[in-house]
Structure 1
């Protein structure tokens, strides 16, 4: 399909216009006009770019793209190498940040719930990015953290009361520890995100609401995979997800 056609479809599907984000969403670097081979990954790192070039990709689709607000805009060092790789191989880069967190079916939070068997009951926080719901059955926070570890294939860090019974659950993939107080205010028995900050420990202890840091990368692998599968089924694109493990 044409590059412009792919970009227009993704903009509509992911409702890009409704989000105020920290980076541009959509086409970030322009490559060849025709897209047949699409490589997908979590972050547009040098390793992913080289993997895409080796696979003969026409375009790359990621959650964490480039040109973040407040970054140094000069094209030197790492930025020069990354951009040079795309331009040398005429590969387009598409990035979708908050739109790929918030999508109700293909997004990171929806896909995490699907894999964990959680029911979604509502949204909260900035731009309704964070999700509210419940596990398949009430269980102790420590058991829920263990289930996350098994599903994501990496240890989930639990702070707070692991014995607390979790009936109402809040979650937001990535670096969403700043929503913890809002989750508590929503009546959550537990909050799950990707990262943890120093103050998160104290808030979990003092509020009685346990917090689980399950990994920024680990909680944000599934949205881009679901999106790639959707594109492959709808347009017949050759889509390949490349997993480049990140312990954070």
Structure 2
């Protein structure tokens, strides 16, 4: 299909033009390809050199990522930065990034999909606004801390670090994927007794203990694979394309 048609669909579906984000996110099409066509979608968390090389080797001509080419801010186009652009353009690889618009999306967003993967009998609702756009979800539940720990480890297929600063029986849980550990005070003020996120600074653990809130740190990468996978699968089915997840975990 036409690259322009695919990106127009994504722009509208994710409300790219109207939703806020950090400036380096630069959501939307970040690099077009030379053919102007898409035959195979790659989905990945990060648009860095090893991922781009894997996508190229897999025959992708469109890469959907969560953290785009400019995540580290403005840089000279030399060294690895130059190599990323050169190899992508030579291989006809277009790159599209969706950060917060994908985190908070209520169908294919990271937060809602991780929450649903916990298989709780809960009604999830949007919460935690960033400039009036909710990037997380919350629910009232009744589950033991140990059981939630087990379910989260299973959903993420890995180890989960726990700050057991809150109650053993969880009543109000919030999910904000990625690096929301630094928001423990703001989350506590919203009535949450347990936060599920990817990572946080060292002080987030000690502050959570003082505030009396549980924090599950599941890994920034691990908590943010859900959205790009689901969205790429939806695009592939909708437009009759192939897709592949380009897995390159950071362990963080």
TM category, shorter = over 0.9
- Scaled by the length of structure 2, what TM-score is found? 0.92
Distance (whole Å) between structure 2 residues aligned to residue 121 and residue 39 of structure 1 = 30
What are the ranges of 5 or more consecutive residues in structure 2 without an aligned counterpart? none
Q: 1:1-248 counterparts in 2 under 5 A?
A: 1-22=1-22, 23-31=25-33, 32-68=35-71, 71-118=73-120, 119-126=123-130, 127-135=133-141, 138-161=142-165, 164-248=168-252
SS of the counterpart of 2:159? coil
Say how many residue pairs are matched: 245
Q: Which moved further from structure 2: 118-127 or 23-32?
A: 118-127
Distance (whole Å) between structure 1 residues aligned to residue 214 and residue 116 of structure 2 = 22
SS of the counterpart of 1:128? strand
Deviations, residues 79-123 of structure 1 (Å, cap 9, x unaligned): 111111101112101111111101001010111112112431331
Asked if 1 retains the 8 angstrom alpha-carbon contact of 2:172 and 2:194, the reply is: yes
SS of the counterpart of 2:17? helix
Deviations, residues 137-187 of structure 1 (Å, cap 9, x unaligned): x22223312221122111111013375211210110001123221211111
- Scaled by the length of structure 1, what TM-score is found? 0.93
Q: Which runs of 4+ in 1 moved over 6 A?
A: none
Q: Which moved further from structure 2: 199-208 or 159-168?
A: 159-168
Asked if 2 retains the 8 angstrom alpha-carbon contact of 1:165 and 1:189, the reply is: no
Distance (whole Å) between structure 2 residues aligned to residue 171 and residue 181 of structure 1 = 14
Alignment CA distance shift 1:57-1:122 (3 Å): closer
